[in-house]
Amino acid sequence: MSGDFLIEGELGIKSGVAGGNLIILADSQAAGLLAAEVAVDAIENVPGTITPFPGGIVASGSKVGSNKYKFLGASTNEKMCVTLKDEVEDTQIPADVNGVYEIVIDGVDEESVKAATKAAVEAAVKVSGVLKISAVNFGGDLGAYKIALQDLF
């Protein structure tokens, strides 16, 4: 009654690559968020890739497992949480960083994820206030693929 309801008539499934990621560290939340948004826009232009989180940006940086709840497969990466940088031992947030955003990239194959990652980095570094772009692999526990950012350039 208030719009269209659309659903696919057919649905297929195929193996792919899940869990490519970027961590954008910026001098402010505004700069970090803008960089994440332009990175997601760049990824949308790479065929065969998606950013599976709403708006393309992970709501809280992720890690494998949980320190508190053993039944959780993933939880917030407190060492990369900017609001906890003064409270967490071994924080990985430098003192000048006040905005951190994670982007997860899934694709039909490794080359597509690499292309999307490169496009995202190239877009994000153009935003004033971006201090560093990194990625995480969690010692290989996140998946079978490891995309080294330096190898893309």
Whether residue 100 is contained in a domain is answered as: yes
Alpha helices in 5-142 (DSSP H): 29-44, 110-124
Whether residue 9 is contained in a domain is answered as: no
CATH of the domain at 89: 3.30.70.520
Structural domains counted in the chain: 1
Whether residue 150 is contained in a domain is answered as: no
Whether residue 69 is contained in a domain is answered as: yes
Residue 39, domain extent? 17-139
Whether residue 8 is contained in a domain is answered as: no
Whether residue 122 is contained in a domain is answered as: yes
- Does position 112 have pLDDT exceeding 80, yes or no? yes
Structure tokens at 91: 């924080």
Whether residue 147 is contained in a domain is answered as: no
- Does position 142 have pLDDT exceeding 70, yes or no? no
Please write the tens of the pLDDT for every residue from 54-100.
899 987 777 777 777 888 777 778 888 888 889 988 898 999 999 99
Whether residue 36 is contained in a domain is answered as: yes
Walk across the sheet containing 130-134 and list its strands.
49-50, 99-107, 17-26, 130-134
Average pLDDT, the chain: 89
Q: Which residue has the tokens 């350039």?
A: 153
Q: Are 28 and 129 in contact (CB under 8 A)?
A: yes
| pTM for the whole structure | 0.85
Which residue spans within the chain are E strands per DSSP?
17-26, 49-50, 62-64, 74-76, 99-107, 130-134
In this prediction, residue 153 carries a pLDDT of 92
Q: Are 74 and 141 in contact (CB under 8 A)?
A: no
In this prediction, residue 141 carries a pLDDT of 64
Q: Which residues contact 6 (CB under 8 A, 6 or more apart)?
A: none
